[in-house]
Amino acid sequence: MLKRRTFLQASLAAAIASQAFAAPARRPKILLRSSWQVVNIGDIAHTPGVLALLEKYLPEAEVTLWASGDFSEEVSAMEKRRFPQLKVVKGSIGRDGKASNTDLQEAIQVSDFLLHGSGPSFVAARDTGDYVEHTGKPFGIYGITYGGAGKNTLALMNKAKLIYFRDSVSLGKAQEHGIKSPIMEFGPDGAFACDLRDDESADAFLQANDLEAGKFLCCIPRLRHTPYWLIKEGRTLDEKKHARNEEMKDHDHAPLREAITRVATETNHKILLCPEDKTQMQVGKDNIYDQLPAEVKKQVVWRENFWLTDQALSTYVRSAGFFGLEMHSPIMCVGNGVPAIVGRFAEQTSKGFMWKDIGLEEWLFDIDQPEQVARYADTVIDLIRQPEAAQEKVQAAQEVVTRRQYETMNVIRQVVGL
């Protein structure tokens, strides 16, 4: 008997296969404007996630990635291992309408549609606006958070053929602000579909650190404001944000330390303390690992080096679950069938509320609400003590996500003429 998740995936695959799509006269060309920064594995995950969706649901289309300037060779190589035919261009469009290089110019000229990828906002509004202004070609926005925008950006969003917001709070705000794109709906963050893998590196890391598959939880710390001044050239110390980080760091990590202590003392599972961005190795050491009792530390592995999305995801799928203060590692976890608990606070965007949208409200915690924090550690322990119930929740959430991926991609099919 097929499990619920397997049945869902099989049903959707059959539905897609059964549709009699006429072969297009030529392959439509989609220019995917995506990739925002490479210091965070979650920001990286947006792009391969949307690429995987386009590959699955629009296999007839030819997709070129229009990447941001800091899209590194290392990240490009990782993504091309998964998408070996992927063409990547960089650059910008000048006031005269000409691209800054011939590769981008050609990609723009032959494209039929620009799709702005998933992200924390309408990140590349300027590039998208330049594309629309100088080509007159259509565009859409897939899986973003919206918290407000200036007059020019709002006018541009009104021209979008479709806008999918990754949380219902963003959708409501866009409607409240009068955005009039003909299709505005909830559409999951692209990172749910990320399926990058580096199993060899993950297995080697687990073996070297005495971590047994299915017998450990992953935990990621986070400061209120990412201290980019520590990892990005040219950034200077933001004293106000730094002061807020210092003020709240003990408060924010106390629930994680409690959960780790209980896992270490009440179960036979270990904890992997790991990063989502390049600052969090030190954040985890200072605010969690170094403050744990010696007997608890024995059950905790602190990852001291940054990793890329493929190794991280291969590690997550070998774990019993995830908890912490980040968002995109949980997204990748749930997208790949792994239970994940999200902690959030006021300084973050509304993206965390997507956990309510996909039915995981019980795994969403506002760290500023004492009554919610009081049940945080118990919920983490439940991932271990009630694994079947946790899997049922994950599978139900996956049904919501997979259905919306199917529906939203079919709309994009229609918009590009497939």
CATH code, 34: 3.40.50.2000
My answer on whether 254 and 332 are in the same domain is yes
Does residue 6 form part of some domain? no
pLDDT of residue 371: 98
User: What is the tens place of the pLDDT at every residue in 376-404?
Assistant: 999 999 999 999 999 999 999 999 999 99
Query: Residue 151: inside a domain, yes or no?
Result: yes
Residue 26: pLDDT band (50, 70, 90) is confident
> What is the pLDDT at residue 24?
56
Is residue 7 domain-resident? no
Instruction: Give pLDDT, residue 17.
Output: 39
Pick from 333, 335, 308: nearest CA to 321? 333
pLDDT at 270: 98
Q: Is the pLDDT of residue 316 over 50?
A: yes
Shared domain for 162 and 209, answered yes or no, is: no
End-to-end CA distance of the chain: 35
Q: What is the pLDDT of residue 233?
A: 87
Q: Are residues 79 and 22 in the same domain?
A: yes
214 and 110 share one domain: no
**Do the Cβ atoms of 127 and 156 come closer than 8 Å?**
no
8 lies in a domain? Answer: no
Find the mean pLDDT for residues 219-223.
98
The count of other CB atoms within 10 Å of the CB of residue 117 is 25
Closest CA to 49 of 253, 153, 191: 191
Asked if the structure places residue 113 within a domain, the reply is yes
d(CA 346, CA 222): 13
Query: Of all residues in the chain, what percent carry a pLDDT higher than 70?
Result: 94
- Residues 324 and 260 both lie in one domain: yes
- Together in a domain, 335 and 406: no
Q: How many distinct structural domains can be found in the chain?
A: 2
| Overall average pLDDT of the 234-240 stretch | 95
**Does one domain contain both 93 and 230?**
no
Residue 1 lies in a domain: no
Instruction: Look up the domain containing 99 and give its range.
Output: 13-193+401-415
**Integer Cα distance of 311 and 201 in angstroms:** 6
- State residue 25's pLDDT score: 65
Which residue carries 């946790």 as its tokens? Answer: 390
On the question of pLDDT at 369 being above 70, the answer is yes
Report if residue 5 sits inside a domain: no
Query: 324 in the Ramachandran plot: left (φ > 0), alpha (ψ -120 to 50) or beta?
Result: left
Return the beta strands (E) in 237-283 as ranges.
270-273
Q: Do 145 and 214 have their domain in common? A: no
Do 361 and 237 fall within a single domain?
A: yes
pLDDT for the residue 418: 80
Q: What angle in degrees, to the nearest 10, is found between the helix axes of 41-57 and 309-316?
A: 80
If 0-12 CB within 10 Å is exposed, 13-18 middle and 19+ buried, where does residue 384 land? buried
* Whole-number pLDDT of residue 15: 45
Same structural domain, 218 and 350: yes
Report the percentage of the chain scoring pLDDT > 90: 92
Give the per-residue pLDDT at 400: 98
Same-domain pairing of 394 and 407: no
- Degrees, nearest 5: CA angle 417-175-135: 40
Residue 267 falls within a domain, yes or no?
A: yes
Residues 167 and 80 in one domain: yes
